[in-house]
Chains A and B, each alone.
Chain A
């Protein structure tokens, strides 16, 4: 309840600051969507020249992409921690956070919220809906529940990974290169993993499980034969494990935090 109250206050504050430059705000939302849309445009354009991508039809690949956008939008809304190291460690703002009653990670998440990213999730839902009917799949209420559970699990994987990587700032002075690296690796998870070689497939499944935020859970609904479909049920397990690891690394990092000094 307390956290919800905080959430609402931060939300109001966010709206006030962002709507100062109203036209720019909308251009930014639009350019953000376009940026995500680049991969979708890629899919649509190349399918004019081929019928299948490693055995997947256009509607299936688009479905995977739409699914991926849902957890990705939620993740971007709440885990906008790209500048954590500079803002909280180098400038010492972590001191302020730690003197307040709410949990430090909750505060940091709320301070950096980016609600417009949720628009991406909505568009993802629309894409999923369209390709669902294109593929002629039957729709049941149970599917909606399973989809919610899978999306939440995917968000947990994202959150766990990025919390862990952000927490590296507690242990190392200049971890700058890691986050952009991750950001680019996650692109692989949006496509059928079968097209990649064994090493990449292994990494995407067990080390940096980005396949679990896109292709694996989406395969559950597509009823794909083979490895992709059977991995889907593991999504919640992987989600819990990675979120747990992320939080453990974070909390251990916070206990090591000594302030910036000056």
Chain B
């Protein structure tokens, strides 16, 4: 592997660090969102013990950890790639002695590292102080969760890259990028856990990669999915990670021959 990639991670991390103040308000925003859903779910449960396979305590933990995981895996690689294609600077990237897609992934990793250490972890501490979150006590749950969290990041980043690369084929894909963001938030389970959706929709979602971003890891974290099944769930994540690499590489190959720069 090219040692330059490590530097790319480092540079992006330092760049994010320079703007860290923006992320302090981010923690408050996420806490506000978690608060809204916390009260909503409390009202939804009312006197009921279990809904969609979650107890109310598991649901509180689910909301907290899912939003904070989003704080970690979220990035704007889709827009960055689309912008570089539109203004033509991607052409320079073609002639450099590295792989453009790898560079983007590494930049995402640098940003992810920053978001993990300065956004997700302190955010989780804040949220645990405000809301009655029950953290798992079993270290194997934590171990599995951290590995799965990394794959959440990978899968989300792959989906972002694929969306960004579509800028090769359409003149303007900001609408597409926004559409994708809505789909990811809805189907990944940040807003509603998958088991709450009507059966037919849940059936469709089982065949989509989005569940691997939030729903699967968060369910393991809250204890809804027993730890004995964690291996199978993780396997599904790995499978999606491999499957998503195929269209990305295909699009990348097809795209290189048809770059269309607007006013570059």
Contacts and interface: CB of A to CB of B under 8 A. Distances in A.
B149 to A, nearest CB: 23
| Chain A contact residues, majority secondary structure | helix
B46 A50 contact: yes
Interface string B164-182: 0000001111111011011
Given A24-B172, A42-B192, A181-B29, A35 B46 contact: no
The contact size tier of chain B is: 35 or more
B175 A30 contact: yes
Contact of B39 (A27, A31, A50, A195): A195
Interface stretch (A64-72, A126-134, A182-190): A182-190
B197 interface: yes
Nearest to B177: A31
A28 interface: yes
A120 B32 CA distance: 24
A260 interface: no
B22 A177 contact: yes
B24 interface: yes
Given A30-B175, A31-B178, A53-B43, A41 B36 contact: no
Contact of A50 (B33, B48, B174): B48
A195 B175 CA distance: 35
The CB with the most chain A CB atoms within 10 A, among B52, B170, B172, B176, is that of B172
Contact of B24 (A23, A177, A180): A177
Given A38-B191, A49-B196, A180-B29, A24 B170 contact: yes
| Chain B contact residues, majority secondary structure | helix
B22 A185 contact: no
Interface in B7-55: 21-22, 24-25, 28-29, 32-33, 35-36, 39-40, 42-46, 48, 51-52
B25 A46 contact: no
Contacts of B173: 24
B33 A184 contact: yes
Nearest to B186: A38
Contacts of B182: 31, 34-35, 38
B198 A21 contact: no
A254 to B, nearest CB: 26
Contacts of A13: none
A197 interface: yes
A188 B39 CA distance: 10
Contacts of A177: 21-22, 24-25, 28
Contacts of A180: 25, 29
A52 interface: yes
B185 interface: yes
A240 interface: no
A46 B191 CA distance: 11
Interface string A7-30: 000000000000001011111101
Interface string A174-210: 0011101100110110011001110010000000000
Interface in A32-88: 32, 34-35, 38, 41-42, 45-46, 48-50, 52-54
Contact of A48 (B25, B175, B196): B196
B36 A188 contact: yes
Nearest to A195: B43
Contacts of A32: 178
B36 A27 contact: no
29 contacts: A21-B172, A24-B170, A24-B176, A28-B174, A28-B175, A30-B175, A31-B175, A31-B176, A31-B181, A31-B182, A32-B178, A34-B179, A35-B181, A45-B196, A45-B197, A49-B44, A50-B48, A53-B44, A177-B22, A177-B25, A180-B29, A184-B32, A187-B36, A191-B40, A192-B43, A195-B40, A195-B43, A196-B39, A197-B39
Given A24-B176, A180-B29, 8 more contacts: A24-B170, A27-B175, A30-B179, A35-B181, A38-B182, A177-B24, A177-B28, A181-B29
